[in-house]
Amino acid sequence: MGDLTEYIAGLPKAELHVHHVGSASPKIVAELASRYEGTTTVPADETKLAEYFTFTDFRHFIELYLNVVDLIRDPQDIYTLTYEVAGELHRQAVRYAELTCTPYSSMKRGIQGAAYCEAIEQARSDARRDWGIELRWCFDIPGESGIYAAEQTLQVALDQRPDGLISFGLGGPEIGVPRPQFKPFFDVARAEGLRSVPHAGETTGAQTVWDAIEALGAERIGHGIRSIEDPKLVDYLADNQIPLEVCPTSNIRTRAVATLAEHPLAALVAAGVPISINSDDPPMFGTTLCREYAVAAELLELNTVGVTELARAGVRHSFLAEEGRQALLAEIDAYEINWYAEGRDPRH
Ligand SMILES: O=c1[nH]cnc2c1ncn2[C@@H]1O[C@H](CO)[C@@H](O)[C@H]1O
């Protein structure tokens, strides 16, 4: 596995399912928490954070996630967080990422939509300057906040239209938050050229994935792992090549899946469902994108050739324009060739 870890570390990647606040480093979260000592349950001590991010179930995860969101109250924090997240993506050899941002949650806490968008755009151009990484935004509706949040999210997306904005999503709990109610907002977003990437089939069954496809026009599904329960849906995803953005460790840490041995990733791949591998909320789940590639390699019994295909899939399922896709696929090819050129055996 040692060779694979080293290989994965430098393998150029695209990440398609990673959350903005969920990626805030323990250093940033602890610093933010120290400002609101006594009014937040979030520890101001980095070492205590790992323990804090131990979730009894998905609902508990969302509760603690929102406790962290609560600490972010000015545009400078948005800039710093976004720039630092880009630095960590760079350390994971990510060359392109579609970062899921939830502007409504920040606007609700007093940050103006325009200031929010300026901050993330400034971070995006600084990250490109410093690390050559290409960021795009998915603006998602926090589903637990319902129709008003959907209205606000669509409005800020279309009023501000930051250069990096490429897709429109739906996050938060699925239980008690039916997808079809958001159809009018996805219809407008798609008509305006935003790509549809709602979460579904993470903590509820296959029906939410059907709803995401039929009501929200999903082109990719966030998680979608519970699709495995419905053979017709599995066939539909495979026949129509609708990719699932799979985040293995997230599913374990939120208790959406009991153990890795029971994770449906291998069954989905065997059925021809296209997948990408992602980290979701890496510091909260004690993981990194490279580690998620290693987990997928274990579950799918992949060698260096196989994990290279995972990286290519991330590019192919991205919304990056053709020129950028070809350039990133060429980077991956060059990396693979150089790796073997140093005399390593691809059969590892
Ligand atoms: O794995 C996940 N599933 C669903 N929502 C998530 C996940 N990770 C982070 N969020 C975020 O939780 C917030 C809820 O208001 C949203 O911002 C959503 O993007």
Catalytic sites, residue numbers: 202
Distances (CA, A) of 40 to 25, 264, 285, 297: 17, 37, 20, 39
Contact of 180 with 209, CB cutoff 8 Å: no
What is the CA(132)–ligand 1 centre distance, in A?
27
d(CA 145, CA 173): 10
The finding on whether 113 has its CB within 6 A of some atom of ligand 1 is no
Sequence-distant (≥ 6) Cβ neighbours of residue 324 within 8 angstroms: 96, 134
Sequence-distant (≥ 6) Cβ neighbours of residue 325 within 8 angstroms: 315, 316, 318
pLDDT digits (tens, 9 = 90+) for 74-110: 999 999 999 999 999 999 999 999 999 999 999 999 9
d(CA 41, CA 28): 15
d(CA 53, CA 213): 32
d(CA 206, CA 240): 16
d(CA 173, CA 279): 18
Q: Does the ipTM surpass 0.85? A: yes
Contact of 284 with 53, CB cutoff 8 Å: yes
Strand partners for 196: 168
pLDDT digits (tens, 9 = 90+) for 276-301: 999 999 999 999 999 999 999 999 99
Distances (CA, A) of 170 to 3, 99, 212: 38, 13, 9
Which atom of ligand 1 approaches the CA of 145 most closely?
15
Q: Tokens for 45, please give them.
A: 């001590």
Taking CA atoms only, the protein residue closest to ligand 1 atom 12 is 172
Instruction: Give the domain ranges of the chain.
Output: 1-339
The finding on whether 142 has its CB within 6 A of some atom of ligand 1 is yes
What is the CA(95)–ligand 1 centre distance, in A?
23
Q: Provide the residue-wise pLDDT of the chain in tens; the chain has 348 residues.
A: 567 999 999 999 999 999 999 999 999 999 999 999 899 999 999 999 999 999 999 999 999 999 999 999 999 999 999 999 999 999 999 999 999 999 999 999 999 999 999 999 999 999 999 999 999 999 999 999 999 999 999 999 999 999 999 999 999 999 999 999 999 999 999 999 999 999 999 999 999 999 999 999 999 999 999 999 999 999 999 999 999 999 999 999 999 999 999 999 999 999 999 999 999 999 999 999 999 999 999 999 999 999 999 999 999 999 999 999 999 999 999 999 999 887 776 665
What is the CA(71)–ligand 1 centre distance, in A?
16
Assign 15 to helix, strand or coil: strand
The finding on whether 140 has its CB within 6 A of some atom of ligand 1 is yes
Nearest to 224 by CA among 278, 282, 165: 278
What is the CA(7)–ligand 1 centre distance, in A?
30
What is the CA(253)–ligand 1 centre distance, in A?
14
The finding on whether 17 has its CB within 6 A of some atom of ligand 1 is no
Which atom of ligand 1 approaches the CA of 202 most closely?
3
Q: Which CATH number fits domain 1-339: 3.40.50.850, 3.40.50.1000, 3.20.20.140, 3.40.50.970?
A: 3.20.20.140
C-beta neighbour count of 173 within 10 angstroms? 17
d(CA 97, CA 21): 15
Sequence-distant (≥ 6) Cβ neighbours of residue 261 within 8 angstroms: none
The finding on whether 282 has its CB within 6 A of some atom of ligand 1 is no
The finding on whether 204 has its CB within 6 A of some atom of ligand 1 is no
Which of 16, 19, 53, 109 for mutating ligand 1's site (highest number of atoms within 8 Å of CB)? 19
Assign 273 to helix, strand or coil: coil
Sequence-distant (≥ 6) Cβ neighbours of residue 154 within 8 angstroms: 168, 185, 188, 189
Which of 65, 140, 156, 170 for mutating ligand 1's site (highest number of atoms within 8 Å of CB)? 65
Contact of 213 with 180, CB cutoff 8 Å: no
Which of 16, 23, 58, 62 for mutating ligand 1's site (highest number of atoms within 8 Å of CB)? 62
Q: What's the pLDDT at 123?
A: 98
Please give the radius of gyration of the chain, using alpha carbons only, rounded to the nearest integer: 19
Taking CA atoms only, the protein residue closest to ligand 1 atom 19 is 171
